[in-house]
Structure 1
Amino acid sequence: MSRAVNIAIVGAGLVGSAFINSLQSLRSSSIAYNIILIARSSKALVSKQYTPLPLKTWSSDLAAASSASALSPGDLAAYLEKSPLPVILVDNTSNEALARVYPLFLQQGVSIATPNKKAFSSELGLWTAIFKAAANLTGTEKRGLVYHESTVGAGLPIISTLKDLIATGDEIVKIEGIVSGTLSYIFNEFSTAGEGEVKKFSEVVFKAKELGYTEPDPREDLNGLDVARKLTILARLSGLEVQSATSFPVQSLIPKALDSVEEVSEFLARLPEYDAETEELRSDAAAQGKVLRFVGKVDLGDGVSDRVKVGIEKYDGSHPFASLKGSDNVIAFYTKRYGKNPLIVQGAGAGADVTAMGVLADVIKIAERIAK
């Protein structure tokens, strides 16, 4: 007889839909994954008897559901606590209010798999509360597990690699990487090694928006906060007590003169006025035979003043970061064990399908530990 877990999915947009599709296509699993809840911010499909929901029509069923079907975080916790099978909450949102309830879920035995960066990069107190409540650290049988591989690098094995390095006794010296698919694309196009067409920074930003690489408001990418949140997570896993994603130097790519602009359309219209600033940086790097990349660094070496920082760095054309293509991510782990040659993880670090894959991999890992 196969083992089983119940799955509650919050967030049914691009990542949520891709997750459901991936879960349905699992092959020859010895564990039954029963979806008992699918929710968006204002609507929910809830199996009151904790039996599997019909998935062939889930999207239309959810669209037709009443707004009264939505559950508050507290109601959701109460519902999941009564699940007759071990239950995994899959939070595909970036909702900070839901993240703040994670400790309650975990204390009630509900496990969590999520790409929600805000749960792990907000103030240090929330991070501490989450892992204090989780069975990963406490060993308390009733408490839930929490996995969040996709908070950094989507489906890339970045967090699991870092955890494995530390768990096996290695010492982290430095981590540096390009962890924003949007900014990876922008700088790969804007600052290239060798001869090639010179593009204006604003033109590349417009193209990235057209291709769907940026947020609807590109300033959410250009302000560097997404990278800062990811670096906060990596730094904390490395042992640094980083207070928040704004407690260390983060370089914004938004011209200071445009900080107060309210409308996206006005910001985009005025951005070309400041191309000369970024062109000066690019041409200076090119004169040195280098390229520009937007990088996050965690440095645990001796005598380092800024342990964590995010901003533009210069790299020789021979450096792995210089040869990156498209919107790929890359992380280099410098450790005592690996010496001068870092362990590098590289690949697609953004997109609904790869993010959903990372979340599903976490769900499988949890299920293998808790399924009955």
Structure 2
Amino acid sequence: YSRLLAAVQRSGRRLRFEATVGAGMPILDTHRKLVDSGDRVLRVEGCFSGTLGYVLSSVSEGKPFSAAVREAVALGYAEPDPRDDLSGRDAGRKGLILGRLLCYAGPPPVAEDLVPPALRQVKFDEFLVNLSSLDEEWRRRVELEKSRARVLRYVVVATPRSVRAQLVAVPADSALGALRGTRNLVSFTTRRYRSEPLVITGPGAGPEVTAAGILNDLHQLAVT
């Protein structure tokens, strides 16, 4: 990332990568505007995976884990091999992008993998066959958190000192707990927005919203 920024500065070019986090949501643009206005971003937190959001909100509503994963693939939210999403690596990469914007200089985060070790290296067909074996464990986890008025969400937290990507139980009536489907949410805690973070929410997966983010970058490059 540092080498890329240095190359951009040397060449006098510009770099835009809005759609890398939150599809078409103006997450990176909001960070840029906060910094340009003289604010300092202290922490960025949220749910950035439309796939994991869809799966986790579905199981929270009583759907079997295996059915939720298969639906996410069928609807085009997940990669053809959903382990690419369930591993948490994609969410972790998005967290790292945000962390770099906050001057985090450490290594990439070790994202929490939602796929059991026994199913991570098997062939795709074998993974699908055994996917339903995870349903009961997920049902128990969901019911346990429900009894505590909480739901499971895959949360990314980026600060200048660390980046984390992991499964978290959050209050069901919180902003993160209220997310449904592929909706993403990001909150900016800044010097000005310290007691009440700035929150942005919207769809975080799908070809149309992702294309909109890319088109916005192209437009900004063309007019500036």
Which one of 150, 174, 197 corresponds to residue 43 of structure 2? 174
Which one of 288, 294, 316 corresponds to residue 148 of structure 2? 288
- Unaligned stretches of 5+ in structure 2? none
Give the superposition deviation at 1:174: 1.9
Classify the secondary structure of the residue corresponding to 1:296. strand
Match status 1:207 vs 2:71: yes
| Residue in structure 1 matched with residue 21 of structure 2 by the alignment | 152
| Residue in structure 2 matched with residue 259 of structure 1 by the alignment | 120
Give the superposition deviation at 1:363: 1.2
- Give the % identical residues: 36
Classify the secondary structure of the residue corresponding to 1:146. coil
Higher relative contact order (CA 8 A, sep 6+): 2
- What is the CA–CA distance in structure 2 between the aligned matches of 1:352 and 1:199, rounded to whole Å? 25
- What is the CA–CA distance in structure 1 between the aligned matches of 2:130 and 2:65, rounded to whole Å? 12
| Residue in structure 2 matched with residue 298 of structure 1 by the alignment | 158
- Unaligned stretches of 5+ in structure 1? 1-126, 193-197
TM-score (norm 1): 0.57
Match status 1:229 vs 2:93: yes
Match status 1:316 vs 2:176: no
| Residue in structure 2 matched with residue 278 of structure 1 by the alignment | 138
| Residue in structure 2 matched with residue 129 of structure 1 by the alignment | 3
Q: How many residues align?
A: 224
- Please say which of residues 356-365 and 222-231 is displaced more in the overlay: 356-365
Give the superposition deviation at 1:143: 2.6
Letter of the 1:160 counterpart: D
CA-based RMSD of the aligned residues comes to 1.6
| Residue in structure 1 matched with residue 187 of structure 2 by the alignment | 332
| Residue in structure 2 matched with residue 80 of structure 1 by the alignment | none
| Residue in structure 2 matched with residue 364 of structure 1 by the alignment | 219
Superposed CA deviations along residues 168-211 of structure 1, whole A, max 9, x for unmatched, are: 2222232111111111111111114xxxxx22211211222222
Superposed CA deviations along residues 199-233 of structure 1, whole A, max 9, x for unmatched, are: 22112112222222211111111111110110010
Q: Is the 8 A contact 1:232 1:242 kept in 2?
A: no
- What is the CA–CA distance in structure 1 between the aligned matches of 2:107 and 2:100, rounded to whole Å? 9
Letter of the 1:162 counterpart: H
Q: Is the 8 A contact 1:153 1:329 kept in 2?
A: yes
Give the superposition deviation at 1:270: 0.5
- What is the CA–CA distance in structure 1 between the aligned matches of 2:12 and 2:103, rounded to whole Å? 23
Letter of the 2:22 counterpart: G
TM-score (norm 2): 0.93
| Residue in structure 2 matched with residue 87 of structure 1 by the alignment | none
Letter of the 1:325 counterpart: R
Give the superposition deviation at 1:167: 2.6
- What is the CA–CA distance in structure 1 between the aligned matches of 2:22 and 2:81, rounded to whole Å? 21
- What is the CA–CA distance in structure 1 between the aligned matches of 2:222 and 2:120, rounded to whole Å? 46
